[in-house]
Chains A and B, each alone.
Chain A
């Protein structure tokens, strides 16, 4: 009882700063978003997100229902069912847990359910690894989910709140992954400013589901029946639903930016919208990355500039939908782009560098793009790798070379 008394007082606290790990920043955001249902299965490095939530529920600070399951596939299935009934749902996972959800992820997106899931990024086995890279999240990029990557713990807290607002927007209704690096953020403490509950409630009104099944308890409907190749009397075909999914996710870039502006005016914090530039104003060379890869790139900028190399960093915050036009705009003055991928689209190259090239193709301004694979399975991605890679890329650009084979840094070949 004492615990309950103590923690309930937290609900009425105003805006204040706490020292939190990335995982706990996510838990606090889920609590303050007044999530109704949480279902998850433990996996390193995600587990503390949901452990903290279960403490909040036990102490009465959160009135959510926790559904315990035997696997990630079931976790996602429970989240889907809960969301269909109109509940606001939260879950979190990592690596092979996320891979195990794959089939259900496609159901969630196809049913247009605004789930928010933290993906605490970790290398996909085999071989077994518990350390960070972005392979788990990147491997799910074609499921119809939106994906945002964070760079610090404050951004995690803020992005989870923004994610609900984007996902539940009545022009969107799509699930979203809030991705952040395992250990580098998940287990590292930083000061995080929590908004007051009043501020969060104003920013994030309750969820109004498009399915409204809770209003139709006496008129049962079937969700996701067999949908035929062609439309028939009164019912669209499979392709119509998939067309709407793609058209909707395309719209999410503008919606995300609008919501970021709203959030910035409420909180005073602006994370840059869908892409974020650092020292890009006068840059000749843009270094592109996501999450920990982009944080590391920023560390290298003073060293590169000391050597007369005018480099800046472009952080891709929203990876799905891929903000092609915003990226082109941000790169319009650079001669050259260097991409650091903590992932591999196996058989091709790093996913970000491949997608970036497709965003630039068939356009007037086509800077030279060179990608590098770095930091897989928690291998340190260091400032020296950024500097070395940038110089290698400059040599290729000078010779007008675009090597077909992938370039890896920091690996014993």
Chain B
């Protein structure tokens, strides 16, 4: 754990993102991400590594699991996962 009182460990403002850090951002959503498992590379191949969606989601609403899951309580509907997924496995649908 970082000691936040220790100036050496907080030279710059760094935040470990966590689910719900900014409240229940799920209420902001007008588009929701829909996961299409048949297109996700992790489903298509057991050996594949990806989790680009997990890496990019600013709300930590996507899990680093196989397959990834999306927590709609915190997903704010920004669409970044859908844009970044190289396999078109996440599509945005109007709520």
Contacts of B7 in A (CB 8 A): 244
Residue of B nearest to A174 (CB): B11
Contact B4 A223 (CB under 8 A): no
Tell me which of B2, B8, B13, B55 contacts A227 (CB under 8 A).
Answer: B13
Tell me which of A210, A220, A234, A240 contacts B55 (CB under 8 A).
Answer: A220
Stretch at the interface among B14-22, B25-33, B37-45, B80-88: B14-22
Report the minimal beta-carbon distance from A44 to chain B, rounded to whole angstroms: 34
Residue of B nearest to A210 (CB): B11
Residue of A nearest to B2 (CB): A234
Tell me which of B4, B12, B15, B17 contacts A210 (CB under 8 A).
Answer: B12
Residue of A nearest to B10 (CB): A236
Contact B12 A234 (CB under 8 A): no
Contact A221 B17 (CB under 8 A): yes
Separation of A225 and B4 alpha carbons in the complex (Å): 15
Residue of A nearest to B51 (CB): A218
Task: Tell me which residues from 176 to 231 in chain A have a Cβ below 8 Å from any Cβ of chain B.
Answer: 210-211, 219-225, 227, 231
Contact B17 A223 (CB under 8 A): no
Tell me which of A219, A220, A224 contacts B12 (CB under 8 A).
Answer: A224
Contact B12 A223 (CB under 8 A): yes
Report the minimal beta-carbon distance from B47 to chain A, rounded to whole angstroms: 18
Contacts of A225 in B (CB 8 A): 13, 15
Contact A111 B12 (CB under 8 A): yes
Contacts of A234 in B (CB 8 A): 2, 4
Task: Tell me which residues from 237 to 265 in chain A have a Cβ below 8 Å from any Cβ of chain B.
Answer: 240-241, 244
Tell me which of B2, B8, B14, B55 contacts A223 (CB under 8 A).
Answer: B14
Known A-B contacts A220-B55, A235-B4, A244-B7; A211 and B16 likewise in contact (beta carbons under 8 Å): no
Separation of A326 and B10 alpha carbons in the complex (Å): 30
Separation of A224 and B14 alpha carbons in the complex (Å): 6
Contact A236 B4 (CB under 8 A): yes
Task: Tell me which residues from 37 to 95 in chain B have a Cβ below 8 Å from any Cβ of chain A.
Answer: 55
Contacts of B55 in A (CB 8 A): 220
**Cβ of A134 under 8 Å from chain B:** no
**Cβ of A112 under 8 Å from chain B:** yes
Contacts of A220 in B (CB 8 A): 17, 55
Contacts of A219 in B (CB 8 A): 16
Contact A112 B11 (CB under 8 A): yes
Contact A173 B11 (CB under 8 A): yes
9 pairs from A and B in contact (CB 8 Å cutoff): A210-B12, A211-B12, A221-B14, A221-B15, A221-B16, A223-B12, A235-B4, A235-B13, A244-B10
Interface residues of B (CB under 8 A from A): 2, 4, 7-8, 10-17, 55
